[in-house]
């Protein structure tokens, strides 16, 4: 006896409630949409060994961010490749495979954290989990269109909303789990009474049992430990950030929710129609540019496809580049200026609000596009977007002037994420306007390769530009520190600065404690170059959108030279 997994075995009986399929679709998208809360893991993964502060062998922010990038790349590629398979086998089998990949990715990732093997995190969460993301993303769309021919936009919008809003549940859940499973490292002693030595950038405390590698925590860092802690030296590798255990719990939770949802998928019987609904005699174009159809294989030969590819890629690059480090960015820019207000809870709530506005933007902008047109909607994205990105460095520079700067930064970023989500929601309708509806699903899947590329470009740009800014700031601050004070604090001369930075012994925060009073904190400007680069990308996308024209007749199905 075989399990009823394939399309021919899951045809719904008469009277089946189609909203069960909608609920299953939303459930799966909420689970996989928690990928948007990846930045919650960044602090825990970058201090997996040091716990209270990064140790010399801890992973860097740049290396951790790329895990999110790989997941997004695999999402786009698997979504583009799975369309024909989905049509052949049906949504239940695809949804079940998505469940196994997504949850299996968490299990392998947990092993990678436990063994401190970064490649296992890439393989698990990035590659295998990313494939689960792509399969879970595409599995409900064509099914919901068949179940809701009378409300297609609403039905697919529900699922896409679930993906955009996944972090609403995921962010606080992950934050709570990390806090629940975290353990403070062993406190070795105060730096005033310990003998500390530095070897190849690493710091060691001399104890009766020998040398112990330590990280030196500030009072603020120690206060963030479970139950609080004192400033001083903590033994490396003796505590836990709770990340591995959190991955295991999430895998167990998601396999139950997604498994039940996948088995809830059914397809309508041939010829099924909603009760009381009659298909319109003639399709209403809703302002479509063309009522003709273009084959998926022909669409890639049109300039419109590639212009839209640039539009989607650059819009997503700009948004996803910030999304991957949203919590970290907020903390680095405003925590020192407003430590009472910008707490860990505030930063987690910020990640949650990003998800809320990302989700809301999918409805608001897609609805607006019905009234003002798709092209004008993207014009709004690419005119308002650069202005908002350029406002962020200014708000950051005003961090010490009052809470208004924080709230201005907060509001600008949330508006950016409405346009990030709105870009995803509006692109299928834009494609239908240009290429017709006959092959729009396949064309959309191929266009999602732009998402894969953006998943690399965004984090790459933000980490490279940030790291360059960090090194410039460190060298500027170190030049202002008395050499004797530098050597006394870090156990090595200024000439070994780069080595100390690579070992996480020297940081901007620690240098700020040694520079002369009144020295400006460079933390507020670490992301300026990133914001300028993202603004430039959106200007290029504006030009690409302006060049889009109706598809010429030679590409229509009946005239296409490439599809025979």
**DSSP helix, strand, coil percent of the chain (3-state; round to 5):** 65, 5, 30
Q: How much is the pLDDT for 174?
A: 92
Q: How much is the pLDDT for 462?
A: 77
Q: Which residues touch 517 (CB under 8 Å, ≥6 apart)?
A: none
Q: Classify the C-alpha dihedral 319-320-322-327 as positive or negative.
A: positive
- DSSP conformation class of 376: H
- CB under 8 Å, gap of 24 or more: what pairs does 499-504 form? 499/200, 499/201, 500/198, 500/201, 501/471, 501/474, 502/201, 503/56, 503/200, 503/201, 503/202, 504/50, 504/53, 504/54, 504/55, 504/56, 504/58, 504/215
Q: How much is the pLDDT for 283?
A: 42
Q: Which residues touch 26 (CB under 8 Å, ≥6 apart)?
A: 158, 159, 161, 162
Q: How much is the pLDDT for 61?
A: 84
The residue with tokens 């709770």 is 242
Q: How much is the pLDDT for 441?
A: 67
- DSSP conformation class of 240: B
- DSSP conformation class of 495: G
The CB density around residue 210, as the number of other CB atoms within 10 Å, is: 8
211 vs 192: CA distance, rounded Å: 17
Q: Which residues touch 367 (CB under 8 Å, ≥6 apart)?
A: none
- Chain centroid to Cα 133, Å, comes to 12
Residues of the chain with pLDDT under 70: 1-2, 83-84, 87, 142, 145, 149, 151-157, 279-291, 321, 323-328, 335-337, 339-340, 344, 348, 437-438, 441, 523-524, 560, 563-564
Q: Which residues touch 52 (CB under 8 Å, ≥6 apart)?
A: 184, 185, 215, 217, 221, 222, 224, 225, 229, 234, 239
Q: How much is the pLDDT for 279?
A: 64
Is-contact 254 99, C-beta < 8 A? yes
* Backbone φ and ψ of 340, nearest 5°: -70, -35
**Is CATH 1.10.1060 what the domain over 289-448+528-564 is classified as, yes or no?**
no
Q: Classify the C-alpha dihedral 194-197-198-203 as positive or negative.
A: negative
Output the CATH code of domain 12-182+240-269: 1.20.1250.20
Q: How much is the pLDDT for 336?
A: 64
Q: How much is the pLDDT for 115?
A: 94
**CA-wise closest residue to 112 among 253, 254, 251, 247:** 247
Q: How much is the pLDDT for 521?
A: 75
* Boundaries of every domain in the chain: 12-182+240-269, 187-235, 289-448+528-564
Q: How much is the pLDDT for 282?
A: 38
């Amino acid at each position: 006896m075989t399990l009823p997994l394939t399309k021919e075995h899951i045809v719904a009986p008469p009277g089946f409630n189609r909203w069960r399929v909608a609920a299953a679709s939303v459930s799966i998208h909420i689970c996989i949409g928690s990928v948007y809360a990846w930045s919650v893991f960044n602090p825990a993964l970058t201090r997996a060994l040091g716990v209270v502060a990064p140790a010399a062998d801890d992973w860097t922010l740049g290396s951790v961010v790329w895990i999110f990038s790989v997941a997004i790349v695999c999402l786009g590629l698997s979504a583009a490749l799975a369309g024909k398979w989905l049509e052949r086998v049906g949504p239940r089998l695809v949804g079940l495979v998505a469940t196994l990949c997504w949850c299996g990715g968490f299990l392998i990732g947990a092993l990678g954290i436990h063994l401190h093997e970064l490649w296992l995190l890439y393989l698990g969460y990035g590659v295998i989990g990313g494939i689960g993301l792509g399969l879970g993303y595409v599995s409900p769309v064509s099914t919901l269109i068949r179940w809701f021919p009378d409300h297609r936009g609403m039905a697919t919008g529900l699922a896409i909303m679930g993906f955009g809003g996944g972090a609403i549940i995921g962010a606080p859940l992950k934050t709570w789990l990390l806090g629940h499973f975290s353990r403070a490292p062993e406190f070795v002693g105060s730096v005033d009474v310990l003998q500390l030595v530095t070897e190849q950038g690493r710091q060691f405390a001399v104890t009766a049992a020998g040398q112990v590698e330590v990280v030196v925590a500030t009072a603020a860092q120690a206060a963030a430990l479970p139950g609080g802690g004192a400033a001083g030296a903590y033994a490396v590798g003796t505590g836990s950030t709770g990340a591995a255990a959190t991955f295991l719990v999430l895998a167990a939770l998601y396999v139950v929710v997604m498994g039940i949802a996948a088995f809830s998928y059914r397809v309508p019987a041939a010829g099924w129609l909603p009760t009381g609904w009659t298909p319109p005699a003639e399709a209403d174009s809703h302002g479509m540019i063309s009522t003709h159809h273009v084959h998926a294989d022909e669409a890639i030969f049109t300039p419109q496809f590639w212009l839209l590819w640039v539009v989607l890629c650059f819009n997503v690059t700009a948004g996803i580049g910030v999304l991957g480090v949203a919590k970290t960015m907020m903390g680095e820019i405003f925590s020192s200026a407003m430590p009472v207000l910008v707490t860990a809870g505030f930063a987690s709530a910020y990640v949650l609000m990003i998800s809320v506005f990302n989700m809301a933007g999918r409805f608001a902008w897609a609805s607006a596009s019905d009234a003002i047109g798709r092209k004008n909607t993207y014009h709004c994205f690419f005119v308002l977007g650069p202005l908002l990105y350029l406002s962020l460095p200014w708000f950051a520079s005003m961090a010490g002037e009052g809470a208004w700067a924080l709230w201005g930064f907060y509001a600008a970023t949330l508006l950016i994420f409405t346009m990030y989500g709105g870009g995803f929601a509006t692109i299928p309708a834009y494609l239908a306007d240009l290429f017709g509806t006959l092959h729009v699903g396949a064309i959309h899947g191929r266009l999602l390769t732009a998402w894969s590329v953006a998943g690399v470009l965004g984090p790459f740009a933000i980490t490279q530009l940030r790291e360059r800014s960090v090194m410039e700031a460190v060298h500027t601050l170190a030049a202002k520190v008395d050499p004797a004070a530098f050597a006394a604090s870090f156990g090595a001369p200024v000439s070994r600065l780069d080595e100390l930075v690579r070992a996480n012994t020297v940081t901007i925060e620690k240098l700020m404690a040694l520079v002369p009073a009144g020295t400006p904190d460079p933390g507020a400007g670490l992301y300026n170059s990133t914001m300028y680069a993202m603004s430039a990308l959106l200007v290029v996308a504006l030009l690409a959108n302006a060049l889009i024209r109706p598809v010429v007749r030679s590409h229509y199905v009946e005239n296409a030279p490439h599809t025979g």
